[in-house]
Amino acid sequence: MVKAAFLGLGVMGYPMARHLKAKGHDVTVYNRTTARAEKWVSEHGGRLAATPLEAARGQEIVFACVGNDDDLRQVTLGDNGAFGGMGTGTVFVDHTTASATIARELSAAAMERGFAFLDAPVSGGQAGAENGQLTVMVGGEQGPFEAAQPVIMAFARACRLLGPAGSGQLAKMMNQICIAGVVQGLAEAIHFGKRSGLDIEAVIEVISKGAAQSWQMENRSRTMNAGTFDFGFAVDWMRKDLGIVLDEARQNGAHLPLTALVDQFYSDVQSMGGRRWDTSSLIARLER
């Protein structure tokens, strides 16, 4: 058991913190909207902190899962930020999908203060968080990773150190690049099949046993075919992530024509009113 804090109780952080508590860890929570933190404590126990600073005091590990770079900077370095309460030798684990730039910035700031920072974005969506089956991509130093990894496994099925600070965020960018292309391909295939008069479910059953198989095909083809798009990771969030990817590509010189194109397709979905639809809604713009 470790003493841990969790900052940010959104659709991902809420169940992730729950898994920590269920594994026997001593958990303190903070959320910008206090009512949500109060609800979490009423359901799961633990303690409620009024600020990130208060939440971080006396903890061995502090976890965060917030919205973006600005949110992360605020809860760490802002007024009453968590970094002011971190003790020497402790570890801050950030599960936010953010830029590699801020990961490196916060890693350097943590090192100056005598503790460690790990950038550790996750993949698996809301269902993965609820079921404790997230994949965690980590950037940072080996020692802090070894200290944090057994605790992270409370809500993960896989967790790997991939390199120095920023590497976790870069790996998550690769993850989102892959997803963008696969979802667009699946959307076009289903759209094509429907226009051709095929039995989509029968075709998917067959081709999912071959080289076309993917997680998206297994988990989203039927709902895409039905035109239902309320299954987790929202278009708004995907566009935020792809924006981070494309910014990084401009810095490192990578050529991402497909990713840029799919980002614009998601912009079309937003203009159709699909900001909160899940990412499989790419098919909706083909069937307008």
pLDDT string in tens for the chain (288-residue length): 999 999 999 999 999 999 999 999 999 999 999 999 999 999 999 999 999 999 999 999 999 999 999 999 999 999 999 999 999 999 999 999 999 999 999 999 999 999 999 999 999 989 999 999 999 999 999 999 999 999 999 999 999 999 999 999 999 999 999 999 999 999 999 999 999 999 999 999 999 999 999 999 999 999 999 999 998 789 999 999 999 999 999 999 999 999 999 999 999 999 999 999 999 999 999 999
Q: Is 240 designated active site?
A: no
Are 231 and 278 in contact, with CB atoms under 8 Å apart?
A: yes
pLDDT of res. 233:
87
pLDDT of res. 237:
94
Amino acid at 6: F
Catalytic residue among 21, 39, 172, 209: 172
pLDDT of res. 153:
98
Are 213 and 178 in contact, with CB atoms under 8 Å apart?
A: no
pLDDT of res. 8:
98
pLDDT of res. 258:
98
How far is it, in rounded angstroms, from Cα 121 to Cα 139? 9
pLDDT of res. 232:
77
pTM of the full structure: 0.95
pLDDT of res. 79:
94
**In 3D, which of 86, 140, 93 has the Cα closest to residue 115?**
86
Q: What are phi and psi of 130, to 5 degrees?
A: -60, -40
Is the C-alpha dihedral spanning 120, 122, 126, 127 positive or negative?
negative
How far is it, in rounded angstroms, from Cα 278 to Cα 220? 10
pLDDT of res. 40:
98
pLDDT of res. 231:
85
pLDDT of res. 67:
94
